[in-house]
Amino acid sequence: MSRLWMRAQLHHCWPALVSEFAKPRMQHLCDFLDKERANWNVYPSQKNVFKAFRETPFDLVKVVILGQDPYPNLDHAMGLAFSVPRGVGPLPRSLRNIHRELDRNPALARDPDIARRKSGNLTWWAKQGVLLLNRALTVGADGRSHFEYWKEFTDRQSNSSTSDPSLSCSCSGGTTR
């Protein structure tokens, strides 16, 4: 994975990120991910590593929800915190907890699109301005977190988006590090 490829994934939707890829730590991250992918399964797939940023361009962010790591298996990891592809079941516990809280909201109980909401795929949230960002954008298939490699990058992005005074809400789930 090259810094050029990473930058190309984000330059349209998060132009402020482009300068991040010139930093030496990003080359270190790319080298680490290349080595990991050569020897192990890494999730999500390379094309979905930056999905949270592609689906929620910076100028549309209204809410930031921070997760911890992607789900450590191929069927679940899709690049959006807490989200799983349509058809996955049973849903991960963290996502079931989110649904339980949503079900307590009487306005949402009348949502005509309740089936889409129950699917586990939260892409529709992302397209409405909910940045579903994991603190680590990749994880090993054995559950080994890549947090230490992503920390500075994701901290910078979550801080830049949550410092915007027009942001409605920011919250995090999972265990803090």
User: Which among 101, 115, 109, 159 has a CA at the least distance from the CA of 133?
Assistant: 159
Q: How far apart are the first and last CA of the chain?
A: 26
Catalytic site residue from 31, 34, 59, 69 = 69
Structure tokens at 107: 């306005």
Give the span between the Cα atoms of 99 and 11, in whole angstroms.
33
Structure tokens at 153: 């990058």
User: Does 103 participate in catalysis according to the annotation?
Assistant: no
Give exposure, 33-64, as e/b (b: 16+ Cβ within 10 Å).
beebeeeeebbbeeebbbbbbbbbbbeebebb
Structure tokens at 170: 């920011």
Structure tokens at 99: 């649904």
> Catalytic residue numbers?
69
